């Protein structure tokens, strides 16, 4: 099966749902069984956490308290840590079918995602690289960061699901390799209040009795890195450039019905 950088992705249209919700990309998995797909999406203000958070003592109470403050907390399937969503954040997700173990493809899939975003940013004179940024929310090796000292401008996560063989398909010779659908996701800070996001992420950690704290000075919103006169049109122009950088991104796949 071709490597991720050789794949052509179809751009998934979320139909009548311009804001697909904080778990929007999980809807890509069904389509990805047929063809590699990508989507750009946004979500209303909230916090999103992996399943490990939902298992922590006091999670339901913390979730209720954050919801009362206007920051509902959702649980996603992918790993990582707590992340914000809201206006000024753009999400890019890729999903496709792989043969073999997820571990054999995980790093290359991350690198492809980071490469797409970094290529789009170069158009605006912003040089980004994949690296960990200690003190940032949802830190990991495949953050995208800028500057020195490094500041995070995008966070990434993955989710893998085993794909069952096609029902009734003949088995010839040896058992075919396992197949998995991989989903890789990036949260990009385009025009976002990083102080508020950090404060709310810390509030959730505190409510859960965690000692983990994040630093607002370890993340940066991309709009602050471009000339003031260009900021008004930056989000639209970046979105257009990002689509152009997705392999096959000009191919659009419309759904028969909207995703809710």
Burial of 241 (0-12, 13-18, 19+ CB in 10 A): middle
Query: In whole angstroms, what is the distance from residue 17 CA to residue 39 CA?
Result: 12
Q: What is the pLDDT tens value at each position of the chain, 260 positions in all?
A: 455 556 799 998 755 444 456 777 777 888 899 999 999 998 899 999 999 999 999 999 999 999 999 999 999 988 889 999 999 999 999 999 999 999 999 999 999 999 999 999 999 999 999 999 999 999 999 999 999 999 999 999 999 999 876 544 444 555 567 899 999 999 999 999 999 999 999 999 999 999 999 999 999 999 999 999 999 999 999 999 999 999 986 555 433 322 22
Query: In whole angstroms, what is the distance from residue 136 CA to residue 132 CA?
Result: 9
Write out the two tokens for 22.
């904080």
C-alpha dist (Å) from residue 131 to 28, 154, 156, 215: 27, 10, 11, 17
Q: Which pLDDT does position 14 carry in this prediction? A: 59
Q: Which pLDDT does position 119 carry in this prediction? A: 97
pTM across the whole model: 0.88
Write out the two tokens for 255.
């759904």
Residues 148, 132 contacting (CB under 8 angstroms): no
Task: Region of 130 please: left (phi>0), alpha (psi -120 to 50) or beta.
Answer: beta
Q: Which pLDDT does position 167 carry in this prediction? A: 43
C-alpha dist (Å) from residue 157 to 81, 102, 106, 123, 242: 9, 13, 10, 25, 18
Query: In whole angstroms, what is the distance from residue 126 CA to residue 225 CA?
Result: 8
Q: Which pLDDT does position 79 carry in this prediction? A: 84
Q: Which pLDDT does position 4 carry in this prediction? A: 58
Residue 97 contacts by C-beta under 8 Å, 6 or more apart in sequence? 1, 32, 33, 36, 163, 179, 180, 181, 182
Cis bond upstream, residue 165 (ω within 30): no
Burial of 11 (0-12, 13-18, 19+ CB in 10 A): middle
Q: What SS3 state is found at 93?
A: strand
**Which of 70, 17, 72, 71 lies closest to 40 in space, CA to CA?**
17
């Amino acid at each position: 099966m071709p490597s991720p950088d050789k794949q052509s992705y179809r751009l998934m249209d979320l139909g009548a749902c311009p804001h697909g919700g904080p778990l929007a990309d999980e809807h890509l998995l069904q389509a990805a069984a047929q063809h590699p797909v990508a989507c750009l999406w946004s979500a209303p203000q909230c916090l999103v956490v992996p399943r490990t958070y939902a298992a922590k003592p006091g999670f339901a109470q913390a979730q209720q308290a954050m919801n009362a403050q206007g920051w509902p907390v959702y649980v996603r399937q992918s790993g990582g840590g707590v992340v914000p969503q809201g206006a000024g954040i753009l999400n890019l997700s890729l999903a496709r079918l792989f043969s073999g173990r997820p571990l054999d493809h995980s790093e290359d899939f991350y690198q492809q995602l980071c490469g797409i975003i970094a290529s789009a940013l170069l158009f605006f004179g912003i040089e980004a690289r994949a690296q960990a940024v200690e003190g940032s929310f949802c830190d990991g090796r495949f953050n995208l960061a800028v500057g020195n000292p490094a500041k995070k401008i995008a966070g990434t996560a993955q989710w893998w699901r085993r794909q069952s063989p096609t029902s009734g398909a003949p088995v010839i010779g040896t058992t075919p390799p396992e197949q998995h659908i991989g989903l890789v996701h990036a949260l990009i800070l385009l025009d976002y209040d990083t102080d508020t996001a950090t404060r709310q992420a810390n509030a959730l950690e505190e409510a859960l009795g965690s000692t983990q704290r994040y630093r607002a000075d370890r993340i940066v919103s991309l709009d602050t890195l471009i000339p003031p006169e260009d900021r008004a049109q930056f989000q639209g122009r970046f979105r257009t450039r990002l689509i152009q950088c997705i392999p096959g991104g000009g191919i659009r796949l419309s759904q028969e019905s909207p995703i809710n």
